[in-house]
Amino acid sequence: MTSLLPAGVARDAHPPRFPGAEPGEPSLETWQDAPHNRWAFAHVAELVPTAPIPRSAAPLPGRDRAGLDALLDELPDLAARLEASYTDALVVVRDGRVVADHYREGIGPETPHLLMSVSKSICGLTVGTLVDDGRLELARRVDEYVPALAGSAYGDATLQQVLDMTVDVDYDEDYRNPASHVQAQDRVAGWRPRLADDPADTYAFLATLRGGGRHGERFKYCSAGTDVLAWVVESATGLRYPDAVSQRLWSRLGCEHDASITVDPGGFGFANGGISCTARDLARVGELMLGEGVIGGETVVSAEWVRRTRDGGDPDAASGTVFQRVHPGGAYSNQWWITGSARGDYYAVGIHGQFIWVDPSTGIVVAKFSSWPEPVTEQWNRVHAELFRDLCDAAGR
């Protein structure tokens, strides 16, 4: 019988997911690791179940491509710096207009990309809209909103303490350690292969966390806290977290595309790191902050919330951290990083190099997707702080 296959192609051949990928790669065990993450961060839905975060039916007008030409006179080495920092996408916005953008091969303006912990800042804004409406109170304890967390590390913490990550919780955030809490939470969320004794879902996992009860004293970065906030959001709204983010935030930003979020076996949206969206839509989150809570003429979150985020946090609580070695006097506030610099810039960040950078001094917002080989290092954060300030200065002239 005559074969219908192209000449030289075996009947059992399996095309690779990306050029050079080995058969079966990336897998659930390897997709977060280099070099697989260069493909996987833009194809998360092929690896982990996801739920949509719908945009509005009437988005703001689309934005033209700009390239890098407008910045190259000031930054002639910009293309090399973007390549060296594993850039997947870059969007620079001023006054609602894209003044520069860049996409590596295989990524484009309509390609969604995983945000990692930039997702936390989206959760903080969602909480802010509920505080504005009087549906949440920052001084109230978590277990007043989620009784199932009574007795956990988070039960007697206030919402403000959770937002600022000053909860006393036993939680190891070592991304490379298979025995760490963060890897256990990944397994529960469906990001890694499960172990037999893992909790059934994120709800059950959060209830197992314990701590010393000395809240409000020290900054302790803990991804689980954002998922506690998402549970509080669900309790306050009666909506699943993806639907609450859509209703309260995403559908009001004028985004061009739906976002998405990974979901665990219990249907819980992975609030601390599971959102994917396009770089252009992500920039709108920064524009909302720069606009004191207003975008496209609509107030989405109050100016008071934005100011409290930008001016809040306790630098003393974060003293001695790697963050303050890069940003002396910096603080963490409402799930955003505040640099403490004279420029007043602040940002959202996720491991492997996901960023929203907001610079009020120049009126510039930068969104950047990356696929660093390492989850996070002090040097990568220094490189990017310098890159973003150079971009803002060049684009703001």
Distances (CA, A) of 313 to 9, 200, 257, 271, 329: 60, 34, 32, 21, 10
SS3 228: helix
Report the DSSP pairing between strands 298-299 and 346-350. Answer: unpaired
Contact at 8 Å (CB) between 256 and 296? no
Instruction: Show the tokens assigned to 145.
Output: 């909103």
Instruction: Show the tokens assigned to 115.
Output: 């945000």
246 is known as an active-site residue: no
Question: Which residues are within 8 A (CB) of 94 and not within 5 positions of it... i.e. 6 or more apart?
Answer: 362, 363, 364, 365, 395, 396
Catalytic residue of the set 3, 56, 117, 361:
117
Identity at 90, one-letter amino acid code: L
Closest C-alpha among 144, 61, 107, 90 to residue 357: 90
Burial class for 177, CB neighbours closer than 10 Å (0-12, 13-18, 19+): exposed
Catalytic residues: 117
